[in-house]
Amino acid sequence: MKEAVRVTDGIYWVGAIDWNVRNFHGYTTPRGTTYNAYLITGEKNILVDTVKKPFYGELVERISSVIDPKRIDLIVSNHTEMDHSGALPEMQKLTGAKILASRMGVEGLNKHYPGLDVEMVKDGSEIQLGGKTLKFIDTPMLHWPDSMFTYVEEDKLLFSMDAFGQHYATTKRFADEVDQDVLFQEAAKYYANIILPFNARVLKTVEKAQELDIQILATSHGAIWRKDLGKIVQLYTDWANNRTKEKAIVVYDTMWGSTRIMAEDIAEGIASEGPEVTILKLTDTDRSMVMKELLDSRAVVVGTPTLNNSMFPSVADMVTYMKGLRPKDRLGAVFGSYGWSSGAVQAARELMKMGGLDMPFGELTVQWVPSVEERKQCREYGRTIGRKVMERKEKGD
Ligand code: FEO
């Protein structure tokens, strides 16, 4: 039998562990994930969020280990995305409970699940229910326009929705109980692939959250933070401010090995000026891992062969994905080998510029196989990038 886990007095984790998910809307999740739902018990019983639809049974089972699910009086929906709202219609059918959501949440839920009984709560509003004060805080774009946090004043607990999450399936529920290296690696990967486009919103939200006395950050994915919250909050502030290291990544794919030779020579050139360099070949590296490596990198150097006048498919995929995540305050450069016709490097450059990267370097292209002279040019190109990476001071603000 699956049981609830006590978070604090009267508040339980009643979510689901998805051990098997390996792709979360394009983001690979080798460690699975969790869909965290919470039950607040008292004179009134409140469910905070649900789970992905196939996990409805697990949610009900965990709630049943504490109370009869039919005794739930109210459901708070902090976010419309279906990993959290998927079981809402069935929960409402089972409990008859009203659902509360933000203004955009009401719109989103009505569109996803016509006929749902949903009521709007205003940003900053509070409700007193069964000895608990729930405060609702709109956090638009973390991670959808409808997102909100719910704060329980008496327990100093913030249901932080997607923010501060990790895609990390574990039998442990608290961040202080798991391997710290894995935890922070997964938190970084999650930020890079989900939160990065909303850096400005993160800073505003952290500012808003600082007005609250928070002892527990109950996220919607992965482990719950209840100790040393300052560390994850500081990391969010650093990531949101685009604080990067003296580090570059060289991301490429290759048809017959020429772009690989260029990638390795460019990387050597960059490293010779001081930065740490990571080389990632896209056939063997997933796009979400590239973004994770980019999170603390000051430069991304992309190499593509030309295939049918276009980017190599794996490079087109990654550059398109990166453009959507809009990594700002970072340098970009492009290179590649071509055969009968060129075009891929220019196309990659355009997308990278559209994604917000600074592209102060020219394009470096080689026809067929790089000659000794051209390999020297690759190294020199890398040295130019390396110097620029070292010139950019770490952002201290
Ligand atoms: Fe975990 Fe934006 O949903």
Q: What share of the chain is helix, strand, coil (3-state, %, to 5)?
A: 40, 25, 35
Quote the radius of gyration of the chain (alpha carbons, Å): 24
Of 108, 64, 115, 113, whose CA–CA distance to 87 is shortest? Answer: 113
pLDDT tens per residue across all 397 residues of the chain: 999 999 999 999 999 999 999 999 999 999 999 999 999 999 999 999 999 999 999 999 999 999 999 999 999 999 999 999 999 999 999 999 999 999 999 999 999 999 999 999 999 999 998 889 999 999 998 889 999 999 999 999 999 999 999 999 999 999 999 999 999 999 999 999 999 999 999 999 999 888 999 999 999 999 999 999 999 999 999 999 999 999 999 999 999 999 999 999 999 999 999 999 999 999 999 999 999 999 999 999 999 999 999 999 999 999 999 999 999 999 999 999 999 888 999 999 999 999 999 999 999 999 999 999 999 999 999 999 999 999 987 664 4
Tell me how far the alpha carbon of residue 207 lies from the centroid of ligand 1, in angstroms: 22
Tell me how far the alpha carbon of residue 301 lies from the centroid of ligand 1, in angstroms: 30
Atom of ligand 1 nearest to the CA of 161: 1
Task: Indicate the domain borders of the chain.
Answer: 5-240, 248-389
Q: What six digits make up the tokens of 358?
A: 């600074």
Question: Residue with the nearest Cα to atom 1 of ligand 1?
Answer: 162
What's the pLDDT score for residue 130?
Answer: 81
What's the pLDDT score for residue 394?
Answer: 64
**392 φ, ψ (degrees, to nearest 5):** -75, 120
Atom of ligand 1 nearest to the CA of 165: 1
What's the pLDDT score for residue 396?
Answer: 47
- Domain 248-389: state its class: alpha beta
Task: Measure Cα distances from 303 to 11, 225, 300, 321, 341 in Å.
Answer: 51, 39, 10, 15, 16
What's the pLDDT score for residue 395?
Answer: 60
Tell me how far the alpha carbon of residue 122 lies from the centroid of ligand 1, in angstroms: 21
Strand 148-152 with 157-161, pairing = antiparallel
Tell me how far the alpha carbon of residue 287 lies from the centroid of ligand 1, in angstroms: 19
Distance in angstroms (rounded) separating the CA atoms of residues 119 and 217? 25
Question: Residue with the nearest Cα to atom 3 of ligand 1?
Answer: 81
pTM, full prediction:
0.96
Question: Residue with the nearest Cα to atom 2 of ligand 1?
Answer: 143
5-240: CATH topology is Metallo-beta-lactamase; Chain A (3.60.15)
- Give catalytic residue positions: 25, 79, 81, 83, 143, 162, 190, 221
Render 85-119 in DSSP notation, one character per residue. HTTHHHHHHHH--EEEE-HHHHHHHHHHSTT--EE
Q: At how many degrees (to 10) do helices 229-240 and 180-190 cross?
A: 30
What is the number of alpha carbons within 13 Å of residue 228 lying toward its C-beta? 8
Q: Residues with beta carbon inside 6 Å of ligand 1?
A: 79, 81, 83-84, 143-144, 162, 220-221
What's the pLDDT score for residue 392?
Answer: 85
Tell me how far the alpha carbon of residue 246 lies from the centroid of ligand 1, in angstroms: 32
